[in-house]
Chain A
Amino acid sequence: MAALKRFPLWSWFWLLFAAAYFLLPLYATLEFSLQTGAHSYGLGWYGTIIHDPEFRHSLLFSLRLALETVALSLVLMIPTVYGIHLWLPSARPVVEFISVLPFVVPPIALAVGVIGLFQGVPWFISSTQLLALLYVIQALPFTYRALDAGMSALDLHTLSDAAKSVGASWPKTLWHVVLPNLRTAVLAASFLTIAIVLGEYTISSLLLFNTFAVYIQHIGRTEAYSAAALAILSFGFTWVAMLAIFVLTRGRASRRPIAMVR
């Protein structure tokens, strides 16, 4: 009764409705992926997927792309966001606007635009580096926001001045002082980028790359049971990634300074 009083009936209704909305399709997909006959269940479809060389190839290719994108995004964005916070705060609204452009410009427009722009350099259009560069743009809203939030939580001016006063140049300050405090933000940015790269279909398909998303789409069109198994596997990857963020960042928050007074 006490729980009911604290949590009114309508709240229970919406909670259950939301749970059903998310969990029922998942349950249906899981059940479908486990069906090996009219009334028999097993992991056969999972085996088929895992043993498919294309699965491993496309997944590894996408993971490699994801790592390249993460590295490129961080190398580009960490000094940029640091610089904006420290030396160019007036540029913040401009960069914020630029960072949301990937939401406004559809991936198909980006891909077609890039193909048109680099028409004369076919080797570049067919290189995986181009794809990584485009994914950096796609991940920009998430990378920028995660790093911006991380740096806003720090008294960056005082920490940077303190580092300078003991003899650290700005790159050393960034590496030794700022970056260790951005662990959570960097991990969040990295995992969001990996999720985007693993799920991106339009650009890779248009540029004729056989990424994991392209493979999922292909399986979805040709093999219904395997597609359901693949969907559950992808869901599992995402959860593993989320758990990794949780485990890697656990206890870090308490190392933040307890008070920053200016």
Chain B
Amino acid sequence: MTGSAGLMIAALRKQFGETAAVDGVDLEIKPGEFLSLLGPSGSGKTTVLRIVAGFEEPDSGSVLVNGSSIDNTPAHKRNMGMVFQAYSLFPTMTTRQNIEFGLRLRGMSKRERADKANEALELVRLSSHGDRYAHQLSGGEQQRVALARALALEPSVLLLDEPLSALDAKVRLHLRDEIRAIQSRLGITTLYVTHDQEEALAISDRIAVMSTGRVQQVGTPAEIYSAPASSFVAEFVGTTNRLDCRVCDDEAIAFDSSGTRLVLGRHALQKDTLMVALIRPEGISITPANGSGGDESLVAAAIRRHTFLGATTRLELESPLGVLLADVPSANAVSLPLGSEVLLSLDASAVRLLPRP
């Protein structure tokens, strides 16, 4: 249905008043790739998307599709399909008319338009909804029609601006998988904007994490999660414990708060370098206090809070290292009541060390 194209964003800058919304963004998206721009509100991700779509003009920088600059091409001639955060179906048109509108502007015959609209409706499994108006569709259906409308035009790049954020949780999960399945089937180059890290991790080939108008890290979901390039990325994507430490020798660190040593294995860091140790909640193991067996690498802690997350329960622990979060299987959490003393150990292979800013 579509021909995929490579998208390149080079040294993009955009200022709104005193604020740099986009501050030197470089990105390359391969043909057929699904790349998510992930970041908090105000990080500049939507501005980047709107510049690519042609709705905003950059102060400097360039957008290239298949190696050719589209900087001087107006939005309506860029051949980019877009799905918006807001419900954007044209209210006075039926679902079918919405899909056919862009095709009509391209001068397609009535029959061609009808065929394309049928194909697009089938793709989003809404063939029976062709004669309905936007107000007769649920939020999820409206977004699926918006996706069909974008795809019917066989765009070179598909742009999605938080298309799931107005939907309830269950519909969001379902539609997320559907978008990914359609994208994989069509092999269309996709730029997806979201502030939901779980969504980005689940749906993307690669993620570009943005903050204050800059790309902080680009990588696969696994790389972003397990090897964050900065404490911002670590803290924004998933939950992380952040502990200040210093390098003791060529294989261990010591935490500032308690002096506790942790052997990480051989590393090339200089002695006494100030570092930040990042460790995910699942990288901390918990054992009841009576099962210690005198192991000095274990740290005593008290359980301060339980947060039930379904399969796992998150424990908030008061320890000499500071307040730590640790995940345990919910079945095991029953034997760890509030206030009880436990021993925790840090999985050295799960610790990520970053220079302290």
User: Interface residues, chain A, CB within 8 Å of chain B?
Assistant: 155, 158-159, 161-169, 172, 176-177, 180-181, 254-262
Contacts and interface: CB of A to CB of B under 8 A. Distances in A.
Contacts of B146: 162
Given A177-B90, A261-B166, A166 B135 contact: no
Contacts of A165: 53, 75-76, 80-82, 150, 159
Contacts of A255: 91-92, 133, 135
Interface in B38-91: 53-55, 74-77, 79-82, 84-91
Given A167-B106, A176-B101, A155 B135 contact: no
A161 B134 contact: no
Interface string B88-104: 11111100000001100
Interface string B272-291: 00000000000000000000
Given A161-B55, A259-B166, A167 B85 contact: no
Contacts, number: 91
A259 B135 CA distance: 8
A261 B85 CA distance: 7
Interface residues of B, number: 36
Contact of A163 (B90, B150, B166): B90
Contacts of B331: none
Contacts of B86: 155, 158, 260-262
A258 B132 CA distance: 13
Interface of B: 53-55, 74-77, 79-82, 84-93, 101-102, 105-106, 133-135, 139, 146, 149-150, 153, 159, 165-166
B137 to A, nearest CB: 9
Given A166-B153, A176-B101, A161 B88 contact: yes
B91 A257 contact: yes
Contacts of B85: 261-262
A26 to B, nearest CB: 39
B135 A256 contact: yes
Contacts of B90: 159, 162-163, 176-177, 180-181
A86 to B, nearest CB: 11
Contacts of B53: 161, 165
Most A CB contacts (10 A, CB to CB) among B54, B91, B102, B135 go to B91
A262 B88 CA distance: 10
Given A172-B105, A180-B92, A255-B135, A164 B87 contact: no
A178 to B, nearest CB: 9
A254 B135 CA distance: 7
Contacts of A261: 85-87, 165-166
Contacts of A158: 84, 86-88
A137 B171 CA distance: 51
Given A176-B101, A258-B134, A258-B135, A168 B92 contact: no
Contact of B89 (A168, A176, A254, A257): A257
Contacts of A169: 74, 76
A257 B84 contact: no
Contacts of A162: 82, 84, 88-90, 146
Contacts of A168: 76, 101-102, 105
A119 to B, nearest CB: 46
Contact of A166 (B87, B101, B134, B159): B101
A243 to B, nearest CB: 23
Contacts of A176: 90, 101
Nearest to B77: A167
30 contacts: A155-B86, A158-B84, A158-B87, A158-B88, A159-B88, A159-B90, A163-B101, A164-B54, A165-B80, A165-B150, A166-B101, A166-B150, A167-B76, A167-B106, A168-B105, A180-B92, A180-B93, A181-B90, A181-B92, A255-B91, A255-B133, A257-B87, A257-B89, A258-B134, A259-B166, A260-B87, A261-B87, A261-B165, A261-B166, A262-B86
Contacts of B80: 165
Nearest to A257: B91
Contacts of B77: 167
A258 B80 CA distance: 26
Most A CB contacts (10 A, CB to CB) among B75, B84, B92, B101 go to B92
A259 B105 contact: no
A170 to B, nearest CB: 8
